[in-house]
Structure 1
Amino acid sequence: MDRRKLALDLRVERFPYHRPFRISGHVFTETALLVAEISDGVHSGRGEGAGVYYLGDDIDHMLAEAQRVRGAIESGATREELQHLLPPDGARNALDCAFWELEAKQAGRPVWQLAGLDAPRALRSTLTLGADAPHAMADAARAIDPAAPVKVKLTGDLAEDVARVEAIRAARPDAWIGVDANQGYDAATLRELVPVLTANRVAQLEQPLRRGREADLDGMKRCLPFVADESALSLADTATLVGRFDVVNIKLDKCGGLTEGLAIARQAKTLGLDVMVGNMMGTSLSMAPSFVLGQLCDIVDLDGPTFLARDRVPGVAYRDGHIHCPDTIWGSC
């Protein structure tokens, strides 16, 4: 096969947050991103990877992984071959998305068309409240867009989390509220938490238990939808969620890019699971491929740039409870 040579540019960019962001077990102050650009000499495509902090997939790991396959890519490897060159991770995400945009420009068709989707529409997206004192989270809930769904970070401290949920519900009596435990609970404390969530009309509970403890959910009554995040890294995990979770949260950094993200969404639907798209706190260059995936999703959580002290230009816009993402940001032809 006659392969056209490609050029790969890799760089690290850091984006600080407005303020520290707290979840169960972690506090974040910036996002370090791997930016990949692939060129055929005429056209180029870009992608961005934030990695997966709880897997050790940090900026050094992403950069090393991308460098490891530089030779194959510059010798003409395809996006399909990339899926076998790297495991699902942030490096593959950055490269996969760069390939998608390159292909769009080569074909003269936007990425959404290449993916077999209808023209993108604005998506109703959650805005996330980092874990804080209950009164501070209630104040933050009042301050955000009143049309936006609210996602609440918990810490695994049952008493404090109950106070958080009750305070936020009092502050936003009519809002859609989902909570994310980020693996903070065990089976016993989870059974105490769930009645409080249902009493406060919480719409869903994300990742209550540690990855690897999914069997502890067997036989547990789910009074509200359970969402798999850390328990659902890649396509290989999807079928194992049935009977324990109701929703799969797809993040491109976990699954290694838009190619696998689309495959997960389609398989999940055939298995009777709802689909959510989330993010690992990247810029608008991360949100844009996820926005394409979001066209297939029931729940959208693409608010990463709202935490950043600065974003890319042009960037996504948040208004009236929706994320708006023109394809001039990424993926246009």
Structure 2
Amino acid sequence: MTLTVDITSERFEIAGGFTISRGSRTHAQVVVVSLADGTHQGRGECVPYPRYGETLESVQTQIEEITPLLKEGLSRQALLEAMPAGAARNAVDCALWDLEAKQSGKRAAEIAGLGALKPVTTAFTISVGTPEVMAEKTRAAAHRPLLKVKLAGPGDDERIAAVRQSAPDSTLIVDANEAWDESCFERNMAACKAAGVELIEQPLPSSADGLLAEIRRPVTICADESLHPGKSLDGLGEKYDAVNIKLDKAGGLTEALKLFNEARTADFKVMVGCMLGTSLAMAPAVLIAQQADYVDLDGPLLLAEDRSPGLKFEGSLLYPPEPALWG
């Protein structure tokens, strides 16, 4: 059986834009891989991650280089050796999962040895802005049970206080995207504790996070950028209480499932996260989300328009994907 391989890039407008400590965006840019055997088609989506030097062009080139092996029937396990961890491998791996599900008539969850998938509650992200702007955005989302607040370093104490005042009943988690340093760390940490924040994601740069091993951590600290693509969990336990597993960094669902089990064995709490993509990118991560402590798969909720068919959301309740979408 020879597969047909199709690689495309797509752009989706972000509703109202999206800002983190490293900059702003108006569109989500994704790469989609389609694998077809003449009867069945499997698809996977990835989002190149500039933090690790990925671009649309570099990701597409990586996939093109592996295309001859895919046409010959490269397996998911062999893929782990044939490509490095990252966005390109994620798109290919998820397409292989989807194709296998379509060919076998089984759901991807069954192939993975999981039970029937259930709806999960996802976080909803509040972008970085002034305290006043963030308070306004938070008021519009205050009905949601779990909010993820993007922070940016100095002034985060005022930002998180404004968010908490605007959403007194929501569970809050925050993500600094490596923006804190010693000049604001203690103040921001105290503000998060005072606001009842449950988890702080990547407060310090991965190259300077040794401080986390030296202090008492009054709030759960989660590794994101410090969990580098293709790297193990070794050494993170001294500094972090949780890890954020993203398929684009793990290099696909196959590796992410393995990483999830390793994290549990090492007594980490687990967040399943995402880059800013469509329902096709979120769908495989719903398998990891079933047993995660925190779910952050709100990419489609942040877009002006998702792909169709997409995932079903009822407020912040995310339903498992239907076969027409993935898996």
TM-score by length of 1: 0.94
Alignment partners' CA distance in 2, 1:321 and 1:14: 24
2:22 — aligned with what? 25
- The C-alpha deviation readout for 1:227-272, integer Å capped at 9, x for no partner, is 1111113463323211211111011111111011111111100000
- The C-alpha deviation readout for 1:10-67, integer Å capped at 9, x for no partner, is 1111112122211002111111111001122222200001021211111111101101
1:261 partnered with 2:256: yes
Between the aligned residues of both structures, percent identity stands at 36
Pick the aligned partner of 2:50 from 50, 53, 62: 53
Alignment partners' CA distance in 2, 1:37 and 1:193: 44
Residue 174 of structure 1 deviates from its aligned partner by: 1.7
Residue 226 of structure 1 deviates from its aligned partner by: 0.2
Q: Which moved more, 1:91-100 or 1:191-200?
A: 191-200
1:311 partnered with 2:301: no
1:39 partnered with 2:32: no
Alignment partners' CA distance in 1, 2:295 and 2:167: 19
Alignment partners' CA distance in 1, 2:324 and 2:244: 23
- Segments of 5+ residues of structure 1 without an aligned counterpart are none
1:283 partnered with 2:278: yes
AA matched with 1:307: L
AA matched with 1:162: D
1:212 partnered with 2:200: no
TM-score by length of 2: 0.96
Alignment partners' CA distance in 2, 1:35 and 1:86: 17
- How much is the aligned-residue C-alpha RMSD, in angstroms? 1.4
Alignment partners' CA distance in 1, 2:266 and 2:144: 31
Residue 189 of structure 1 deviates from its aligned partner by: 2.3
**Contact 1:104–1:114 at 8 Å: present in 2 too?**
yes
**Contact 2:85–2:230 at 8 Å: present in 1 too?**
no
Alignment partners' CA distance in 1, 2:240 and 2:291: 19
**Contact 1:184–1:208 at 8 Å: present in 2 too?**
yes
> What's the secondary structure of 1:237's corresponding residue?
coil
- The C-alpha deviation readout for 1:56-89, integer Å capped at 9, x for no partner, is 1111111011011111111221111111111111
2:189 — aligned with what? 194
Q: Which moved more, 1:17-26 or 1:246-255?
A: 17-26
Matches within 5 A, 1:115-130: 115-130=112-127
Q: Which moved more, 1:165-174 or 1:322-331?
A: 322-331
1:185 — aligned with what? 180
> What's the secondary structure of 2:282's corresponding residue?
helix
Matched positions, count: 327
> What's the secondary structure of 1:240's corresponding residue?
coil
**Contact 2:198–2:219 at 8 Å: present in 1 too?**
yes
1:152 — aligned with what? 149
